[in-house]
Amino acid sequence: MVEVTRAYIAGFLDGDGSIFLQLIRRESYIFGYQVRASIVFYQHHTNKRILRWLKHKLRVGYLRDRKDGMAEYTIVGLEDVKRILLLAEPYVLLKRKQLKLALRIIDRLKEGKINPGTFLRIAKEVDKFKILNYSRKRTNTYVQVHQYFLTHHLLSP
């Protein structure tokens, strides 16, 4: 991908995008939770063509129209999110903290075998996105994961 396109995507992410990691409750997962990585680009539905262009360039994700007249281009998944963050990294300014934090967490998750203590430390790091992104509705946090670990005897004394 040419540098000017990478820079444009980074600027779009800085202005009309979001980087976030979330703790998602998953009964089938060994620790009861999943760390989900996402990047979302937003535009008024009249400018949806730019989101289609982005999707064409990045070759991953999906588009959706919201009921409030906005359109979203969403990319989900550790590998895909990491690839796009690395592509944009040299040019991102406003969301540099979110980008660096996301890359650090993704790398820790990809290191290999994760024990309950490591997962709890990662959950604490994921909670930082609430502050960085001014989130109000985050319901799954380190506190819920820790409580789950206690009730399911996943922590050693």
Are the beta carbons of 41 and 73 closer than 8 angstroms?
yes
pLDDT digits (tens, 9 = 90+) for 100-136: 999 999 999 998 889 999 999 999 999 999 889 887 7
14, 16, 77, 80: the catalytic one is 16
Residue-range domain boundaries for the chain:
3-151
- Give residue 122's identity as a one-letter amino acid code: I
Domain at 3-151: CATH code: 3.10.28.10
155's tokens: 């922590």
Angle made by CA atoms 18, 110, 54, in degrees to the nearest 5: 35
pLDDT digits (tens, 9 = 90+) for 92-108: 999 999 999 999 999 99
Q: Residue 156 has what pLDDT?
A: 73
Residue the block writes with tokens 């796009």: 84
Q: What is the pTM of this model?
A: 0.93
15, 65, 107, 117: the catalytic one is 15
Q: Count other C-beta atoms under 10 Å from residue 112's C-beta.
A: 6
pLDDT digits (tens, 9 = 90+) for 1-14: 899 999 999 999 99
Would residue 16 show up in a list of annotated catalytic residues for this protein? yes
* DSSP state string for 75-103: EESHHHHHHHHHHHTTT--TTHHHHHHHH
Would residue 14 show up in a list of annotated catalytic residues for this protein? no
Phi, psi of 120 (to 5 degrees): -65, -40
pLDDT digits (tens, 9 = 90+) for 14-48: 999 999 999 999 999 999 999 999 999 999 999 99
From the list 98, 106, 82, the residue with the least C-alpha distance to 134 is: 98
Q: If DSSP codes are grouped into helix, strand and coil, which group holds residue 32? A: coil
